[in-house]
Structure 1
Amino acid sequence: MPSPTCSARLPALSFSALAVALAAPLAAFAAPAPSATTLDPVVVEATRLRTVPAFDTPASTATIDLSGERANADADVSEILRGIPGLLARDRQNLAQDTQLSIRGFGARATFGVRGLRLYADGIPASMPDGQGQLSHFSIAGADRVEVLRGPFSALHGNSSGGVVSIHSADGQAGDPWRLRATVGNDGTWTGAARLLGGNDIVGYNFAFSRLDTDGWRDHSAARRDVANLKLGVDLGDHRRLSFVLNHVDIPEARDPLGLTAAQMREDPRQAVANAYVYDTRKSVRQSQAGAVYEHGLGDAHALRVSAWGGDREVTQVLPIPPAPQANPLHSGGVIDLDNRYAGFDARWSWSGSLASRPLELTAGANGERQRQRRRGFENFVGDEPGVRGALRRDERNEVETDDLYAQAWWQLAPRWSLLAGARRSEVTFTSRDHYVAAGNPDDSGRVDYSETSPVAGITFAPSEHLRVYASVGRGFETPTFNELSYRADGGAGLAFGLRPAVSDNHELGLKWRTPTGGLLEAALFRADTDDEIAVATNVAGRSSYRNAGSARRQGVELAWSQPLGEAWDLRLAATELEAEFRGGTAADGSINRAGRIPGVPERQAFARLQWHGGAWTAAFEAEAMGDVMVNDAGTGSAPGHGLLHVEASRRWPTAAGPVRLFARIDNLLDRDHVGSVIVNEGNGRFYEPGAGRGWLLGLEWQFDRR
């Protein structure tokens, strides 16, 4: 366990650990160098800048190109988010709980889904107004790229924006090929996907459908997931464009094997606990949403962007709670039934011009969202039969509303200097109306209001054409989600309206360097100090309650390097060292260690990918490593670190109707036992969700050329 003064140190020693990672790409300079390449200016939409490339912004960004050839199942977002420094995406081998996602330690406490981060799909929020998000409806089959924004400027996206992840579907154009894709793998896993892409001079379309069906690597983890996504773009002429997005996800019944104790992990990591069978623990999810984005260019300088969206998400989950605790009249039962209806709009004006003969870009906007939730709880038994919906024990109508205003300005104040600054004012209101009032269970209706102003600023210095050095600061905030408000830590009825929002002060110092040989190096030092950190209070049988745990600090260093090695080879490296610690506010029961590590956050991560292109053949070798992870606030248990190796290869054949590609991949090549993810503060000691052993995948892809 780190000493109390450990987190106060600037993580300068981290560079010594990363020096090893630098050695390999630096050796590339000894190899024959390809001709110098000028990289295309990449504009990252998450920065909300229209004319400024990501390279010139004082922010840590990453763009993952999905338009090329991949040798994976495209079944989980964690497959495409590998190798981004500061980001941790864990496949939990459990579709009932979705991918576990965190950025610089934010979001690590989520027991299911994603929280603390802002998610978007084709410009439409995939995070609810309360901050709870899901990745299950991200359509990888139709995607063109994924953008990731880390650091202070994430706060401009509002509540619960410790980072931003945004997926974008390809825009259809005339002559685009259609694509069919299928994979088979171990444990009865198969996927099928189709992407129909095309259009003409006026309308472009992208319709993608995918199905995942699996028996599960673990016992009692079978699941099926269908995702459909439609994007239509209409060119209205005169700098006007209208886009429509329709999305649907259906997970009819995903079995939940629950977590394991350390002893159970050692005995058999593939097992499910007994209560998973007794109560047939499972979750069903169905979500449909629609959105529209209208963009209007007013001459060459002004632009208007208006978007609106709405949707419905239904969730039913059966938990393994025995009947005895449910005898308490305040207990809300062992079956959760949620119906979330949500809608919102965002209107943004941008202007590009000059100030003092220097380029200037201004953006101002307004955002409003509403979420209406019907939350019901039922007993998970009828008579002596467990695992079925029983008597009603909870019935609420909950609502959250957000009203935000934001603005930002980028100005090149001198030939080598530029400034980016902005602010967002957020008002968030939670309201609950209790419709279940019975003897021993009073009316628990209530309301709570949160508000915060989040300022951010950064400056960039350009010593040369290929080098940028920047510094940025900002403040962000994070309200509790409805799921975190839903259960009080003291066991009482009603919502936990006593929870306060967490407020974080963020600092970042970084550099970006485009090498003469076509490589890109990015490095960042960062620190985030948080007051009123929201932490898990109890987590028993799949039900969690939360409390404020005083202050916390997350600080560390990130490094990313991509480098072509001659004509046929490419190397990509990423490394992160992160100290995430509680720094005060020990709870009355002593469960928060004043100087303890925040659970769910590894201190070290590393990733490497070496890829070879040889005409019709491609092959790649991947290595990833992760340090140990604490599993509870008291610091009494941890998941050990691990290192994994993966290998893949593919072969392409041309045909008269378009190319056909066969690909194969082996994950966890050495069949290492490891912990894939952890359930923070699990009350029964079942903290551990095992990672999969050696797994194989065989796939076939056909791009049908219609020209």
Structure 2
Amino acid sequence: MTSLSPAPAAAPALSTLPFAIALALVSCSAAALAASPAEVQAPAASPTTLDAVVVEATRLRTVPAFDTPASTATIDLEGERSTAEGDVSEALRGVPGLLARDRQNLAQDTQLSIRGFGARATFGVRGLRLYADGIPASMPDGQGQLSHFSLAGAERIEVLRGPFSALHGNSSGGVVSIHSADGQAGDPWRLRATVGSDGTWTGAARLLGGNDVVGYNLSLSRLDTDGWRDHSAARRDVANLKLGFDLGERRRLDLVLNHVDIPEARDPLGLTAQQMREDPRQAVANAYVYDTRKSVRQSQAGAVFEQGFGQAQALRLSAWGGDREVTQVLPIPPAPQRNPLHSGGVIDLDNRYAGYDARWSWSGALAGRPLELAAGLSGERQRQHRRGFENFVGESLGVRGTLRREERNEVESDDLYAQAWWRFAPHWSLLLGARRSEAAFTSRDHYVTAGNPDDSGRVDYAETSPVAGITFAPSEHLRIYASAGRGFETPTFNELSYRADGGAGLAFGLRPAVSDNLELGMKWRTPAGGLLEAALFRADTDDEIAVASNVAGRSSYRNAGSARRQGVELSWWQPLGEAWDLQLAATQLEAEFRSGAADTGAIAAGRRIPGVPERHAFARLQWNDGGAWSAALEAEAMGEVMVNDAGTGSAAGYGLLHVEASRRWATASGPLRVFARIDNVLDRDHVGSVIVNEGNGRFYEPGAGRSWLLGLEWRFDRR
């Protein structure tokens, strides 16, 4: 087995935190509640769950996250942050069970997984549901993107893990939702700029305000970088506008406009183990020969209308639409493209999408006990124009050549869902729900030649996802819960695009993956004013969708039999006196194939699922005495990650340290803050992410070495 071991500091032995520890925490917590805890307050930009927080991802209007039988995290983005805000992975550090990896490659977007779901993605996000201001950032086929998340204008990020994610439909192994702040009269405007290593700089502005009738939030940001690796220069511009209208009599309308532009982000491609050891900053030769690059442009608009009826009922209507254009140049040599079935080395995608969601909710009582009901329906449409071109003209490489593929693809999905929460006894509550999802994938081939037959076709998927959870509240400050549910994930159009056997046409033989999920957890507000959470979870999946091959940026997929993901998550936020805060998060995850598919025989039972570390942990110690200065120390550790289904290669675990500090000055026009941060203080070589089953052995995407950042933030008070 090939093991790439660039990091002398191995990950700490988190295996000493087995399931038994979480169970012990559950059993002993009630006895530890003799003292009444102080009111929990969230530190800036730290994941936590407060009693007063109603997490919208649970789709409950009146029930705080603390009382739900689900693992949730709310990340406050309104506080002072000493990061570049250039990648959403910066904000998602410290959420147990979640991995957000900056690939040092804007051409491939952030790699995101929750409890092992989504880890197979070679680009974009799979297996998870994403939302931005209530508008899906996941396409109807399950493909999602984080590139247009606007951290500059955001107020918070919500994360939902576990069985109740299934109520969001297709590809809901977890939910990540970003929310922009609502503008109000007197809100300060904010200007922000950073400079850092490798020619990286960012600039951002948030204009926030309003009056009694309308509120506005306009955010503009730019990230420009030469890239830590060679041939990885990129620029990303994001604009986000949210307008909120108070129409009186419990009526509200929100309008959201969003635009992202990433012109020709260079792609350095993955490295082999030998290349990683020789020079982790290098790009492979083909990256230069073909000038591998990717351009993305997306614009979308959405509207959310809410109407209350009396004190008990509410209706929420939302609609959205947008267009996403992607052009990518791949490093495929001309020789393979002589095959009449080959679709070329330049991908040109135009996705147009639209959808709606209508939800009714009611809050009342049943048998004298609080009850909340919700029911809704949603529909989404995606129209994709996919073209493929040769990546050469004569002797010129890396340019758009002759057309080799053209098809019109469509996805239509229609869902019905309902849920009910009932506190049926003084210390007990029940949450039930179900969702019926139907999706139709259709492809019409417009490139038909004598050597390339008509590959048109259609496939339909349907699944019912029930969920149930129960919560026990032995005291005001302790919750113990159990939940179960079924989720499913269809292949995306990108996964249907190429057949694993190399034949012509789409891979309509791929089946959806269906998962049965279980979770046991507890939430405890500690006597010292902190919050401790623990969860045991298991997900058994049939027809696991896995990468069959990945060559030169082109991936094909197959159903790989059954799989199991099980583990334990722990998170703890604790104030330490008046000036110090401690945040800890740890995850142990066993993700393995339980049986190989009969038609592949390539994956042995018990083989670890690639792209998923067995353990990872995060710690942050923050100091702020209430004065002008603040500082923080962060540590993160990652276990070994397998890189392919065969289990013949791995990326070694590592441990990293980061430090930051800031100084604030009061001015006549509002506070001015200067901040600095050093990531990877010890300059450890490490693998930041892997490309699962990469056919040329270029599995490894190195993480950045020691890097620095200086920033300036001014909150302009207009009052």
Normalized against structure 1, the TM-score is what? Answer: 0.96
Instruction: Give unpaired runs (5+ residues) of structure 2.
Output: 2-14, 42-49
2:576 is the alignment partner of 1:572: no
Aligned with residue 559 of structure 1, among 570, 578, 581: 570
Aligned with residue 668 of structure 1, among 680, 683, 706: 680
Per-residue deviation at 1:493? 1.3
2:153 is the alignment partner of 1:142: yes
Aligned with residue 18 of structure 2, among 14, 27, 44: 14
Paired with 2:405 and 2:363, the residues of 1 have a C-alpha distance of 53
Paired with 2:647 and 2:602, the residues of 1 have a C-alpha distance of 9
Paired with 2:294 and 2:703, the residues of 1 have a C-alpha distance of 20
2:287 is the alignment partner of 1:302: no
2:285 is the alignment partner of 1:274: yes
Assess, with a 3 A threshold, how the Cα gap between structure 1 residues 357 and 627 changes in structure 2: closer, same or farther.
same
One-letter amino acid of the structure 2 residue matched with residue 63 of structure 1: T
Paired with 1:390 and 1:488, the residues of 2 have a C-alpha distance of 23
Aligned with residue 181 of structure 2, among 163, 166, 170: 170
Paired with 1:13 and 1:346, the residues of 2 have a C-alpha distance of 42
Question: 2:640 maps to which residue?
Answer: 628
Aligned with residue 493 of structure 1, among 500, 504, 519: 504
Tell me if the contact between 1:36 and 1:517 (Cα under 8 Å) persists in the aligned partners: no
Q: Cα deviations across residues 69-102 of structure 1 (Å, max 9, x unaligned)?
A: 0000000010000000000000000000000000
Aligned with residue 223 of structure 1, among 205, 216, 234: 234
Question: 1:185 maps to which residue?
Answer: 196
Per-residue deviation at 1:380? 0.2
Tell me if the contact between 2:22 and 2:536 (Cα under 8 Å) persists in the aligned partners: no
One-letter amino acid of the structure 2 residue matched with residue 78 of structure 1: S
Question: 1:472 maps to which residue?
Answer: 483
2:716 is the alignment partner of 1:688: no
Paired with 1:458 and 1:19, the residues of 2 have a C-alpha distance of 18
| Pairing of 1:498-517 with structure 2 (within 5 A) | 498-517=509-528
Instruction: Give unpaired runs (5+ residues) of structure 1.
Output: 2-10
Paired with 1:21 and 1:632, the residues of 2 have a C-alpha distance of 36
2:621 is the alignment partner of 1:610: yes
One-letter amino acid of the structure 2 residue matched with residue 664 of structure 1: A
Question: 1:126 maps to which residue?
Answer: 137
Assess, with a 3 A threshold, how the Cα gap between structure 1 residues 17 and 606 changes in structure 2: closer, same or farther.
farther
SS, match of residue 495 in structure 2: helix
Q: Cα deviations across residues 47-80 of structure 1 (Å, max 9, x unaligned)?
A: 0000000000000000000000000000001000
Q: Cα deviations across residues 316-373 of structure 1 (Å, max 9, x unaligned)?
A: 0000000010000000000000000000000000000000000000000000000000
Aligned with residue 50 of structure 1, among 58, 61, 85: 61
Question: 1:254 maps to which residue?
Answer: 265
Per-residue deviation at 1:591? 2.8
Per-residue deviation at 1:41? 1.1
2:82 is the alignment partner of 1:71: yes
Q: Cα deviations across residues 232-261 of structure 1 (Å, max 9, x unaligned)?
A: 000000000000000000001100000000
Percent of counterpart pairs with the same letter?
85
Q: Cα deviations across residues 493-529 of structure 1 (Å, max 9, x unaligned)?
A: 1110000000000000000000121100000000000
Aligned with residue 241 of structure 1, among 239, 246, 252: 252
Tell me if the contact between 1:480 and 1:500 (Cα under 8 Å) persists in the aligned partners: yes
Paired with 2:25 and 2:332, the residues of 1 have a C-alpha distance of 47
Assess, with a 3 A threshold, how the Cα gap between structure 1 residues 108 and 611 changes in structure 2: closer, same or farther.
same
Per-residue deviation at 1:647? 0.2
Q: How many residues align?
A: 692
2:659 is the alignment partner of 1:647: yes
Q: Cα deviations across residues 613-632 of structure 1 (Å, max 9, x unaligned)?
A: 02111100000000000000
Assess, with a 3 A threshold, how the Cα gap between structure 1 residues 214 and 12 changes in structure 2: closer, same or farther.
closer
Question: 2:162 maps to which residue?
Answer: 151
2:340 is the alignment partner of 1:329: yes
One-letter amino acid of the structure 2 residue matched with residue 693 of structure 1: G
Paired with 2:20 and 2:631, the residues of 1 have a C-alpha distance of 31
Tell me if the contact between 1:295 and 1:304 (Cα under 8 Å) persists in the aligned partners: yes
Paired with 1:224 and 1:171, the residues of 2 have a C-alpha distance of 28
2:362 is the alignment partner of 1:351: yes
Per-residue deviation at 1:593? 2.4
2:594 is the alignment partner of 1:583: yes
Q: Cα deviations across residues 473-503 of structure 1 (Å, max 9, x unaligned)?
A: 0000000000000000011111100000000
Paired with 2:356 and 2:527, the residues of 1 have a C-alpha distance of 44
The two structures, once aligned, show a CA RMSD in angstroms of: 1.9
Per-residue deviation at 1:21? 12
| Pairing of 1:92-103 with structure 2 (within 5 A) | 92-103=103-114
SS, match of residue 46 in structure 1: helix
Question: 1:86 maps to which residue?
Answer: 97
Per-residue deviation at 1:540? 0.1
Assess, with a 3 A threshold, how the Cα gap between structure 1 residues 187 and 17 changes in structure 2: closer, same or farther.
farther
Q: Cα deviations across residues 188-217 of structure 1 (Å, max 9, x unaligned)?
A: 000000000000000000000000000000
Paired with 2:592 and 2:212, the residues of 1 have a C-alpha distance of 55
Tell me if the contact between 2:267 and 2:287 (Cα under 8 Å) persists in the aligned partners: yes
Aligned with residue 638 of structure 1, among 647, 650, 653: 650
Tell me if the contact between 2:51 and 2:64 (Cα under 8 Å) persists in the aligned partners: no
SS, match of residue 268 in structure 2: coil
Assess, with a 3 A threshold, how the Cα gap between structure 1 residues 233 and 121 changes in structure 2: closer, same or farther.
same
| Moved segments of 4+, more than 4 Å | 15-22, 32-40, 586-590
One-letter amino acid of the structure 2 residue matched with residue 619 of structure 1: A
Question: 2:420 maps to which residue?
Answer: 409
